[in-house]
Amino acid sequence: MDLKRISFLILVLIAVGAMAQQKEPKTEGRQINIVYGANFTKDEAQFPGASIFSRDDDRQVQFEHQGADLWCDIAIFYTEENKLKAIGNIRMQQGDSIEMNSGKMDYDGNTKLAKAWEKVDLTNGQMTLTTDTLYFDRENQKAYYNSGGKVVDSANVLTSKVGTYFMTPKKYQFQRNVHIDNPDYTIDSEQLDYYTTSKNAYMYGPSTITGKDYKIYCERGFYDTKIEQGYGIKNTRIDYDNKIIQGDSLYFDKVTEFASATNNIKITDTINNGVIKAHYAEVHKAKDSVFATKRAVSISLVQKDSLYMHGDTLMVTGKEEHRILRAFRNAKFYKTDLSGKCDSIHFDESTGITQLIKNPILWNVDNQITGDSIHLISDMETEKLDSLKVIENAFIISLDTISGTGYNQAKGKDLFGKFIENELKIIDLVRNTEVIYYVYNDDQELIGIDKTICSKIRLLMADNDIEDITFFVNPDGDIFPETDLPVESRKLKGFVWRGDERIMSKDEIFDEDDNNIQLVKIRGIDNPIDIDAEEEERQSNENDPVNAKANTKAVRPKQPVVKKKA
């Protein structure tokens, strides 16, 4: 053969080799390696193209692939496909932490995907996952199951229908019938992300946390399972200390026995059937107290009628039957036949006394009552209104509904009223009393205007109007014809008609500032939260307490700033 033909054949061989290299998949560095083959055989009928390895008396079969080792009793190895089937007492070890055991396994060296079944367990040193079938994706460093699994760590037992374990952040994502069992509480959710290092849980969809003395429901939330602390947003509710707390965002801490809520809050006292509504509230279990602000209102049932009480700040303190309700600054209340306002309101459940403090005014239907201090007293047994006290500068005024221009008036140092079946029936004015009263006959024709002074006056009321007047101890006065009593003499000293201030409905207890409150924006309701980023932020704050104080949003949802001025 001459030199030219030899050169041509060499070029052809080089070209063919190059083409072959282009057609064959590149497997360099991805090939499964045999570390210990022990017994070798072949079975072309059942496993064509495969090499079969089985353990000997001393050791199991061992393979190695890109940082992972696999041991088993029998291995069916397809060298060309770079795949193997492992059978019996399988153990796969990745690095120093990840270990997976099973009865059978298929492993693809090209995709680095393992499918293990029959009594599968996977551990990272901090937790153990058990399931019937587990997929281990080494390329993306995650493992997942679709037929039910259980995870056990030092704090909790977690089960779900579907689960994925992400090895880099050491996080589980559980879906469908998620359940966490702990000696102190349980958690049920449709989807839950759980970080195995921090033991923090992030919930999605309908989720319930049930503790020994509390129950939390939310559709998006966070819970630190180590210390039983967390928050919920979206349709949230806490059953806590005989109270039901609902709101857009709720925060809960078992150790401090504290719960708070933000935006559209409703707190229901299940024992007393009372309700508090507001846009920010706190519940302190140890003190058995509630603090509420931002359009706060207390609603309670009085003789089949609702009593609405409002203040810039509401505080409820004390145990049952010793409870005290306070409304601070710009306090107002409304009931169908009774309303009023003052600087602050103090109600003591143990005495049944409601005090209207500083510049009080009370409207009993059409009667305007003022004085330095007003007390409403309830019967402790019947829980009905029993009596009324007005201390110092007592003054009662009502518009004369027939003339539409005059005013019936009575004043004295103090006033004492008596309620019968929740209706003000008897009014006694004592010391330095005076009265101006329009007197009519049965045909509602004006007889005259009664103007009298004496030591005591008793007014008997019917249908919330004066039916009869009795004067005690040397009354001095007369009934004057309308023409004989000048207009300027028809008002007692200190007369101030405040009818335009009268509260006519439950909505009028709120002023313009209350109705125009700008609600705080709560993270996660409108836009999804990057959970990995939040967890990283949370762990950073726990490791750096100084910065954690400056950035509390990772610990609880943002709350409005509230200054307490009792």
Contact 106, 82 (CB under 8 A): no
Q: Which amino acid is at 500?
A: D
Tell me: the pLDDT tens digits for 462-478?
A: 877 788 888 888 888 88
Helices (H) and strands (E) in the chain, counts: 4, 38
Tell me: the pLDDT tens digits for 490-537?
A: 999 999 999 999 999 999 999 988 899 888 888 766 655 677 778 888
pLDDT of residue 313 exceeding 60, the answer is yes
Q: Which amino acid is at 361?
A: I
Domain annotation covers residue 144: no
SS3 content of the chain, % helix, strand, coil (to 5): 10, 55, 30
Domain annotation covers residue 406: no
Task: Find the farthest-apart pair of alpha carbons in the chain and give their distance in angstroms, rounded.
Answer: 156
Q: How far apart are CA 402 and CA 400, in angstroms?
A: 6
Average pLDDT value over all residues in the chain:
85
Tell me: the pLDDT tens digits for 79-99?
A: 999 999 999 999 999 988 899
Contact 105, 120 (CB under 8 A): no
Domain annotation covers residue 113: yes
Tell me, what's the pLDDT at 526? 61
Domain annotation covers residue 64: yes
Query: Of 399, 390, 482, which is closest to residue 430 (Cα–Cα)?
Result: 390
Domain annotation covers residue 426: no
**What is the rounded radius of gyration, in angstroms, for the C-alpha atoms of the chain?**
41
Q: How far is CA 4 from the centre of its chain?
A: 89
Extract the tokens encoding 526.
């409108």
Domain annotation covers residue 477: no
Domain annotation covers residue 104: yes
Task: Grade residue 188 by pLDDT with cuts at 50, 70 and 90.
Answer: very high
Backbone angles phi, psi at 508, to 5 degrees: -80, -5
Q: How far apart are CA 82 and CA 29, in angstroms?
A: 11
Domain annotation covers residue 49: yes
Q: What's the CATH number where 76 sits?
A: 2.60.450.10
- Whole-model pTM over 0.85: no
pLDDT of residue 546 exceeding 60, the answer is no
Tell me, what's the pLDDT at 169? 85
Extract the tokens encoding 54.
């089985």
Buried b or exposed e, range 8-46, using 16+ CB within 10 angstroms: eeeeeeeeeeeeeeeeeeeeeeeebebeebbeeeeeeee
Q: How far apart are CA 477 and CA 488, in angstroms?
A: 17
pLDDT of residue 540 exceeding 70, the answer is yes
Tell me, what's the pLDDT at 16? 35
Tell me: the pLDDT tens digits for 403-446?
A: 888 999 999 999 999 988 878 899 999 999 999 999 999 888 89
Structural domain that includes position 90: 30-118+128-137
Domain count, the chain: 1
Question: Which H or E run includes 243?
Answer: strand 243-253
